[in-house]
Structure 1
Amino acid sequence: MSPESTNDPKFAADTSPDVTEFGVLYGSQTGTAEKLAHQLAKDVADRFDKSATVTTIDNYDFTAISSSDKEHLLILLVSTNGDGDPSDNAMKTFRYISDLCREPEHNQLLSRLRFGIFGLGNTAYDAYQGAARNYKTCLLDLGAHLVAPYGEGNDEKGELYEDFVSWKSKFLVNMGSECNWKVIKEDQYTPLYQIQPVSARKHTDGQLVASLRDLDFLDRPPFHMAKPFMAPIRSCRIFTSGERCQFHCELDLEGSRLRYQTGDHIGIYPTNRIADVEQFLFAFGLLDRKDEIVQVRSSTPLWFVTPTTYVAIARHYLSINSPVSSEIIQQISKFSPSKEAREKLELLASREQFVKKVIKRKQTLYRLLLDVSSGQPWPDVPFSLLLESLGKLQPRFYSVASSNLMYENQAHISVKCERETIDNDAFYGVCSNFIEEACFKSSNLYLNPDSSIKLPLYIRRSNFKPPVRKDRPIIMICAGTGIAPFRGFIQERIAQSKSGAVGKNLLFFGCRDENDALYSDDIAQYQKQLGSSLEVQLAYSRADPSHKIYVQEKVREHAIQVYALITQGAYIYVCGNSVKLSSSMNRLMRELLIRQGGASEIEAAKELKQFRLSGRYQEDLW
């Protein structure tokens, strides 16, 4: 799908008055939209000398626009989750404007708002770009005006950043024209961050912080996203090893005051691998200066403590393995160490070559640059440019694999180590391999090797919850480590069964073979405790190469039983590491409602949508 939509009937072609309130807002679940929002705000500042407030959509007061005598200009970057809903930090505002646009008398309520919008989504989901498109429609219905064409980015093939770059280049031209903004400078890099060396003598009385984890005051509650709890690892056990390393990890929450509910997520802040950090520092001529103390200053809030060192930033704070965009390659080419290296980078200018040589090979910036320069460092690249382009090392989220009713002061997670080899280059998932190292290798992860190994974490609330009524049947469908939240669901039913009978629990679990059936011993024990109320159906996709059985087929095989439970008010849950699981299960559920329930295609689609709205059909996908 094209990232542009230039024929919008409400595209504002009139001249804009002076804008007095300007913001770049994001709705972001994983941090991608947030990163792009900061990049876009800087591009606007560099090009037009216009400063913008950058914040979440829900942090912006939309209620004040209607009563304001000022013109407001907002650029929204809106991500869509699997259900077609906005992210958590854009949901409140969406509900507010959705309620307003149902009332015709509000059709000019936001007439003082001019806006641009870019959606982030994945076409593997049925509700592709649902949040961004709904935001656009509601804002237009409330009298707001588009100042430039609406754009979309598709992450299915890893090309979202390129969609954004393509949209942004045209968007800035259109927005500048419609807002009567004069271009101050173009294609000239202005550092957002000032990096200054700090002498060791000058710093002797201060505290050098390599990581937020070293600050004593952070050991006290309350703990949250900006102040994670350092959770001791209680125990770990391996399910499978080698290339498909999968394991169980138990974390101690004692004394943290953190309270999760079954189905919530654990956000874990990773640390970059030492080998990657050293290669990154070498690529930019900083390896010999890795312990140099520097002060970082900026007009925008920093996400790390300063003064610090280059190695601390690269290790704990910077997303050095971020996807590379053609835009940053274009910027960095100006700082090439040789003519040959610059020419090689310029060969990647076309989207076709960029997709083939960079995106499909999952190239990181430092590996790509060393590749085109035949191993020669790039010392002239401003460190500020790296901070701006690579951004914050974001937490990764894991479904809690335990129930708070059974483990009040513990949280369990299931981890699959992400590892892949492409053209003889090995790529490692940042967080999964970080947790594995913490669990099983206990190497020098932190500055203090004498301390026990701990993981920085916080609780993220989730809507993926078992029914409030314990007598309601639940149908759980998963693949791989998608079993994690259902282990918690079943534990919850065991705890609830002590005060009376519980509803039917039907688990469909897709795995490669018998050895890949995670938690098989636990599940066998749970079946003894719950008896006939827990039924497990396994689908092996690799046990017999001539007859692969996927979890969707196992559900179809039991369609009569599944539909019978649905008529009894069952809740349906889908969890797995593939967005394709979402679309295939959606099709299968509609098929089931048609064949077993006699619904038409339109009726089945409406019924499934109603299941979603009422919470009877939920997905937890990554």
Structure 2
Amino acid sequence: MTFLMDSKVLSTFGQHGKPHTVLDLGSLAALGFALAFYLLKGTPWNRPDPYHRLWFERPQFKDGFQSNQPAAIRNIAEQLEQTNQEVVIFWGSQSGTAEIFALKLARECHIRYGIKAMAVDLSDYDSETISQIPETKLAIFILSTFGEGDPSDNAGRFWELLRKESSELFLPSLHYAAFGLGNSNYKYYNNVVDVIVDVFNKAGAKAFMPVGKADDANGGTEENYLMWKADLLSVLGEKLNRQERDNIYIPTLVVREDPLLKPIDLHNGTPIEQSCGSKTKAPKISSIQALTVTQARELYNTPKRNCIHLELDLGSHSQVRYKTGDYLAVYPIAPDEEVDGLLNALGWQENGSVPLIISVCGEGATPKIPSPTCANALLRHYIDICGPVARDVVKDLAQFAPTPESKDLLLGLGKSKTAYYTFTNKNHVTLGRLLSLAAPGAVWKDLPLSYLLDTLPTTRPRYYSIASSSVISAQRLAITVGVETRPLPEEPSTDIKGLTSNYLLAIANAFSKTESLPLYQLTGPAGVLEGHKIHAAIRKSKFKLPTLPTTLIVMFAAGTGIAVFRGFIQERARLKSIGRGVGQMILFFGCRNPEEDFLYHEELEKARKELGRHFEIVTAFSRVPGREGRYVQDVIRHKAEEFSELMNKDASLYVCGRASMAREVTKAVQDVLMAQNGWNQTKLDEWSDSMKRGNKWFDDVWG
């Protein structure tokens, strides 16, 4: 590019182009600035300052925590040496159970045996450095499995490393123990711990005790873990030459009041973003935003049960976008009765809003609870006070009991499995309720708030399949919420209410100005949820429609499992309406009674008319008076020949619902194919593996 200058301008610089005066210099500088502006298009000064936010942060509370924390060490071997730890307990947790087991185990190692142990999030350290852990240190892995044998989000990078580089791993100095959390209703029961143990052993690692496994199919996770933990602590005591001591609580956190802080300084309940530990991939979950619920309606036609349809507006939240098949992560709020009951039992009812600063005792750890905050926010938003109290926690609480009678009661319940289950079958035992039942009217003044933070899990989001298509409504999504209520075994008049589903029911009732119990602070912390808003985020899913819209798909669902298929059907109906070719869809759907809980019946009938031969619904009703109950698996067997023909057309299979339903559907599919095709078990296994590898079989199951 050529730039021409006026001769008069040029002449001002003299014969040889040199400036002679201040004016000359100014003209030259202006010309240079203009040229730079033209060539660079303003890039340097238009780029946002990445540190601009620091002008508005209080330096002592950067990132929600106190800023005097040392820089994070990503090498776990170095961390163990620097902090002189003897045992490291890695946790991979999706719902929070594995995390709380690990944290409690680290404390028990120290309290009962004087063993220096640290519990760490697998994503907080570089997975490669596990190979550097010396044989003088012991490693324990507590790992959950969910979905189709998947690891928790925070264990994803560790899982990928082991699976991709298993043949190159060399771990001769690693001495480890492992415990897995799973559900035998799932096809891949405890797959994560099985795979990791196999890789470890092939790499030369040495297990110092047998692998433990928890099965949540019948609610046995807690007892399975307690039995394994008892053996583990005994082995650790022997290996490290320690004698057991009295189990007296030693806090890992310091909680102190700071009345000089103002409300604006506090974390008042807004959820804290959690890292998934992936350093190379896009996050699986979006940022958390306050999304507006724009519509709510009841889907069941029975007064005894509730299922609600909610629609949410993503609006201007450009960082929160979904694709058909994704999940909505909803962050719940604890009900007023649980918060107030626990505050009263602790004697904090007058001090719930007092500013608190939370810090760790010792080195090498970071509090999972944001600081500064207050007790009201802690109990309502940050720690889960609505879950049942585990038997070992009941036993520990005895040391804080305000009366001899309450101490004896708690010790008896904690030591006897039979006594504990007899008591909990008659009483809904959340922490606040337990304290009130054990010592009615008494104040537990010796029970420190730090114990709750050390012992109770943090509040985690609950995930709901999105029941809409992003092709049709990119900025508006829907979820289908089955409201959980379960009567006590020996007190059927008392219901145990699901935390998140009943919170969402309260929001739905607020639309019609119908008051329901329990009550919640629906306006949220500092009123940020006023106007029917909830804190939520989008979580990516692998449960997606085939890339080619002409692919035949067969869908199996029961109850609220139909939610994700509503989005699938909407998307294909829209494609057909604009002239695109679509493949056939067959939906096998089961519910109790078509008059009571046939979800989205009218919508499905409308879609059937729009899609014509491209959409078929096969129903199974389990509780119709005067008729034999039928489930989805029964219908599959009844239509064995037709189903076998569908599979010969290269169909993709999708199963969505409770794990027990998915297990029975899978078995029915396999039985039908073996019988219709004359396959043996080897041929069936080959077919199943090829379906999974080819992304032709998808499961989205829970419970």
Select between 325-334 and 148-157 the one with higher mean Cα deviation. 148-157
Distance 1:154 1:436 in 2: 30
Contact persistence 1:115–1:144 (CA under 8 A): yes
Q: Out of 516, 525, 546, which is 2:597 matched to?
A: 516
Residue 378 of structure 1 and its aligned partner are, at CA, apart by: 2.7
Distance 1:42 1:461 in 2: 35
Matched ranges for 1:21-40 at <5 A: 23-40=88-105
Contact persistence 1:290–1:309 (CA under 8 A): yes
**3-state DSSP of counterpart to 1:234:** strand
Q: Out of 481, 500, 521, which is 1:431 matched to?
A: 500
1:519 and 1:149, CA in 2 relative to 1: closer, same or farther beyond 3 A? Answer: same
Q: Which residue of 1 aligns with 2:509?
A: 440
Q: Deviations over 1:142-178 (max 9, x none)?
A: 1011123321112122221222122122212313433
Contact persistence 1:232–1:454 (CA under 8 A): yes
1:181 and 1:468, CA in 2 relative to 1: closer, same or farther beyond 3 A? Answer: farther
Residue 274 of structure 1 and its aligned partner are, at CA, apart by: 0.8
Q: TM-score, normalised by structure 2?
A: 0.78
Residue 306 of structure 1 and its aligned partner are, at CA, apart by: 2.9
2:287 is the counterpart of 1:207 = no
1:226 and 1:357, CA in 2 relative to 1: closer, same or farther beyond 3 A? Answer: farther
Q: Out of 598, 601, 606, which is 2:681 matched to?
A: 601
Distance 1:476 1:534 in 2: 11
Q: Which residue of 2 aligns with 1:470?
A: 549
Matched ranges for 1:173-184 at <5 A: 173-178=234-239, 180=240, 182=242
Distance 2:369 2:190 in 1: 33
Q: Which residue identity is paired with 1:156? A: A
Residue 92 of structure 1 and its aligned partner are, at CA, apart by: 4.0
Distance 1:601 1:530 in 2: 38
Contact persistence 2:100–2:457 (CA under 8 A): yes
2:437 is the counterpart of 1:351 = no
Distance 2:303 2:107 in 1: 43
2:336 is the counterpart of 1:256 = no
2:620 is the counterpart of 1:539 = yes
Q: Which residue of 1 aligns with 2:217?
A: 156
Select between 190-199 and 369-378 the one with higher mean Cα deviation. 369-378
Q: Which residue of 1 aligns with 2:289?
A: 229
Q: Deviations over 1:206-263 (max 9, x none)?
A: 5344222799xxxxxx998595111011211111263311111111112222222211
Q: Which residue identity is paired with 1:234? A: T
Distance 1:235 1:556 in 2: 39
**3-state DSSP of counterpart to 2:535:** strand
Q: Which residue of 2 aligns with 1:365?
A: 431
Distance 1:74 1:123 in 2: 26
Distance 1:213 1:99 in 2: 34
**3-state DSSP of counterpart to 1:607:** helix
1:322 and 1:292, CA in 2 relative to 1: closer, same or farther beyond 3 A? Answer: same
Contact persistence 2:386–2:431 (CA under 8 A): yes
Q: Which residue of 2 aligns with 1:585?
A: 665
Distance 2:487 2:442 in 1: 23
Contact persistence 1:158–1:359 (CA under 8 A): no
**3-state DSSP of counterpart to 1:522:** helix
Distance 1:489 1:611 in 2: 20
Larger Rg: 2
**What 5-or-longer segments of structure 1 have no aligned partner?**
1-16, 216-221
**What 5-or-longer segments of structure 2 have no aligned partner?**
1-80, 274-281, 512-519
Distance 2:506 2:591 in 1: 25
Q: Which residue identity is paired with 1:174? A: V
Distance 1:448 1:190 in 2: 37
Contact persistence 2:96–2:457 (CA under 8 A): no
2:558 is the counterpart of 1:479 = yes
Q: Which residue of 1 aligns with 2:645?
A: 564
Distance 1:213 1:92 in 2: 24
Distance 2:442 2:187 in 1: 46
Residue 266 of structure 1 and its aligned partner are, at CA, apart by: 0.9
Q: Deviations over 1:274-323 (max 9, x none)?
A: 12211222233322332333222225433443333222211111100123
Residue 420 of structure 1 and its aligned partner are, at CA, apart by: 2.5
Distance 1:563 1:595 in 2: 10
Distance 1:361 1:575 in 2: 33
Q: Which residue of 2 aligns with 1:333?
A: 398
2:386 is the counterpart of 1:321 = yes
Distance 2:213 2:533 in 1: 40
Contact persistence 2:592–2:623 (CA under 8 A): yes
Select between 342-351 and 386-395 the one with higher mean Cα deviation. 342-351
2:447 is the counterpart of 1:381 = yes
Distance 1:468 1:291 in 2: 52
Residue 570 of structure 1 and its aligned partner are, at CA, apart by: 0.8
Residue 69 of structure 1 and its aligned partner are, at CA, apart by: 7.2
Distance 1:296 1:156 in 2: 37
Give identity over the alignment, percent.
29
Residue 70 of structure 1 and its aligned partner are, at CA, apart by: 7.6
Q: TM-score, normalised by structure 1?
A: 0.88
Q: Which residue of 2 aligns with 1:406?
A: 472
Residue 477 of structure 1 and its aligned partner are, at CA, apart by: 0.6
Q: Which residue of 2 aligns with 1:287?
A: 349
Q: Which residue of 2 aligns with 1:461?
A: 540
Q: Out of 497, 519, 530, which is 2:611 matched to?
A: 530
Residue 95 of structure 1 and its aligned partner are, at CA, apart by: 4.0
**3-state DSSP of counterpart to 2:321:** coil
Q: Which residue of 2 aligns with 1:611?
A: 691
Q: Which residue identity is paired with 2:222? A: Y
Q: Which residue of 2 aligns with 1:3?
A: none
Select between 411-420 and 80-89 the one with higher mean Cα deviation. 80-89
Contact persistence 1:20–1:71 (CA under 8 A): no
Q: Deviations over 1:95-137 (max 9, x none)?
A: 4323444x4xx5x711122211101011222332222122111
1:369 and 1:451, CA in 2 relative to 1: closer, same or farther beyond 3 A? Answer: closer
1:285 and 1:478, CA in 2 relative to 1: closer, same or farther beyond 3 A? Answer: same
Contact persistence 1:41–1:54 (CA under 8 A): no
Q: Deviations over 1:328-380 (max 9, x none)?
A: 11110111122222222233222223233327865222223322334544332
Residue 403 of structure 1 and its aligned partner are, at CA, apart by: 1.2
Distance 1:406 1:72 in 2: 55
1:527 and 1:209, CA in 2 relative to 1: closer, same or farther beyond 3 A? Answer: same
Aligned residues: 591
Distance 2:133 2:392 in 1: 37
**3-state DSSP of counterpart to 1:80:** strand
1:489 and 1:71, CA in 2 relative to 1: closer, same or farther beyond 3 A? Answer: farther
**3-state DSSP of counterpart to 1:306:** coil
Distance 2:155 2:553 in 1: 29
**3-state DSSP of counterpart to 1:249:** strand
1:339 and 1:231, CA in 2 relative to 1: closer, same or farther beyond 3 A? Answer: same
Q: Which residue of 1 aligns with 2:587?
A: 507
